[in-house]
């Protein structure tokens, strides 16, 4: 099974329990992100930065290469991308990040 299939399998297991949240799925996402390449580290809940606190900081050999903000399954990402809804303002702030 490849890393993506393992990630989907973990999501399904979490969802089947009936009490999962955005945070429940982060362990599986961290494993997927780190499987993307040699020397990739995904730090869950890194310290705050100027625009806020993205859920993951992604580094390669200690050099920042990106950030990831997670949302629970079912959240309307199209609305968020338009700057609307409960996560719209956060999306605007994080759009200044260099990834």
pLDDT at 31: 97
Structure tokens at 70: 């997670």
pTM score: 0.88
pLDDT at 98: 80
Q: How many CA atoms lie within 13 A of 89 on its CB side?
A: 2
Distances (CA, A) of 36 to 26, 31, 33, 41, 65: 15, 9, 5, 10, 12
pLDDT at 1: 77
Is the pLDDT at 3 greater than 90? The verdict is yes
Residue-wise pLDDT tens digits, 46-70: 999 999 999 999 999 999 999 999 9
Is the pLDDT at 45 greater than 80? The verdict is yes
Distances (CA, A) of 4 to 7, 8, 11, 17, 89: 5, 6, 11, 20, 30
Residues 9, 10, 15, 18, Cα dihedral to 10°: 130
């Amino acid at each position: 099974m490849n890393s993506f299939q393992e990630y989907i399998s973990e999501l399904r297991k979490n969802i089947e329990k009936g009490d999962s949240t955005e945070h429940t799925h982060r362990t599986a996402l961290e494993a997927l992100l780190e499987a993307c390449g040699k020397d990739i580290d995904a730090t869950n809940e890194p310290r705050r930065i100027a625009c806020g606190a993205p859920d993951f900081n992604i580094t390669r050999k200690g050099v920042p290469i990106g950030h990831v903000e997670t949302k629970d399954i079912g959240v309307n990402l199209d609305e968020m991308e338009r700057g609307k809804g409960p996560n719209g303002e956060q999306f605007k702030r994080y759009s200044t990040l260099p990834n």
